[in-house]
Structure 1
Amino acid sequence: MMKKNIVSGLIAVTLLSTGFATSVSAHQAGDFIVRAGAAMVAPNESSQDVAGLGEFKVDDNTQLGLNLGYMLTDNWGIELLAATPFSHDVSLNLGDGNGYTKIAETKHLPPTLVAQYYFGSADSKLRPYIGAGVNFTNFFDNEFTNDLNGALTDLSLSNSWGLAAQVGLDYQINKNWLVNASVWYAQISTDVKFNLGDAPVKIETDIDPWVYMVSVGYTF
């Protein structure tokens, strides 16, 4: 519910604030925009059944988010989202009465490239925007932290390509500095492969996270 409220709020601001303008001039054709802040990846995961124990559970993680934007026109831009590596605990209900138990860890980098449309004019102090594009996710440093007494070995996660979408809001403080809030959604699917005893196992898993970011930006 909280995720839907955040997204709905940003969309409402986007629709209601397109006419807000001041003498501050920003987001013009040819401008570069660099933003840095806190980015939280909140997986909306689902997977095939794992050895009759149910689905994987993947926890949230927050890292330094970085993005670089370029204004093609006063209203159209492109943006690349990057971040320091996200680290996630992977849990499974082992049926021992203790609920979900952490069994593995994985890290990933999810660079995402989107085309954006900024509402309002170049001299608008408040610039809501929407975007759509493509995500690539590279998984690495995959390891079991609980191998069930040696039953689980050789963990790997395949890389992923998928669609991505965003909605965001820039508030221009002065000619160069701004503050930003944005929400992203990315399609991330991976094949989780490991050995269960001597038997190879492949579990199709969708991560499909929401990404929430608050940041400070610089325009030049």
Structure 2
Amino acid sequence: MKAILPLALVSALCSSVALAHNAGDVFVRGGLAVVMPNESSDDVANSGELELDSDTQVGVTVTYMLTEQFGVELLAATPFTHKVSTKGLGEVAEVSHLPPSIMAQYYFGQANSQIRPYVGAGLNYTVFFDEKGKGSVLGGTDVSLDNSLGFAAQVGVDVNFAENWFANASLWYMDINTDVHTIAGTFDTDIDPITFMASVGYTF
């Protein structure tokens, strides 16, 4: 009973607040996005594949509801920066990128539901910049990555907690393929990150 009672109270308090995603609505979500690369690449000078660490930045999405069920969403964020390394050489580079994405979304449930899960699919265009060679092998040398256009998908849920306000959690997959150009050669690299975003949204 001690565990059930708080849940019942929260449910009762929230039950009168509905989440309205109606045709013509625009809503903005803002929060923190964690990019977690799931990379693979060509072998680099017999030192292993390129590995990228995770990074957390501010993410923003803007959605326009075409109907009560279908929406279009644009994702933007502050630049993500990743350290690039191999098992044999350690850190070899650092790179920043921006991953704008556009999604067609389907929202489950009714427009006035308090909780609305959704799925989305679309395209991601990743722009790489500020590439820097690092370490004893590539330090001070030119490193560049080709920009990438690929498939993107997402799942998420909105939970209303006040008039026009809602909390959101979403999970993204992005197909990011690039060629990494260095003095040691060119290496085909799949970054393919999973991105988790926790945010607060407002409906206009």
Aligned match of 2:190: 206
Q: TM-score, length-normalised on structure 2?
A: 0.89
RMSD after superposition: 1.5
Structure 2 residue ranges without an equivalent (≥5): 1-14
1:93 to partner: Cα distance? 2.1
Aligned match of 1:6: none
| Deviation sequence 1:61-98 (CA, Å, 0-9, x none) | 0000110001000010010111000000001122xxxx
How many positions carry a matched residue from both structures?
190
Aligned match of 2:154: 166
Report if aligned partners of 2:145, 2:178 keep a CA contact under 8 Å in 1.
yes
| Deviation sequence 1:102-161 (CA, Å, 0-9, x none) | 1210000000100000000111010000000000000000001214286x7210000000
2:17, 2:144 → 1: CA distance?
54
Q: Percent identity?
A: 54
Q: Does 1:135 align with 2:124?
A: yes
After TM superposition, the structure 1 = structure 2 runs for residues 5-154 of structure 1, keeping only pairs within 5 Å, are: 24-94=18-88, 101-148=90-137, 153-154=141-142
Q: Does 1:217 align with 2:195?
A: no
**Residues 147, 153 of structure 1: alpha-carbon distance in 2 compared, 3 angstrom cutoff:** farther
**Residues 114, 203 of structure 1: alpha-carbon distance in 2 compared, 3 angstrom cutoff:** same
3-state SS of the aligned residue for 1:148?
A: helix
Q: Which amino acid aligns with 2:56?
A: T
Structure 1 residue ranges without an equivalent (≥5): 1-20, 95-99
The runs of 4+ residues in structure 1 deviating greater than 3 Å are none
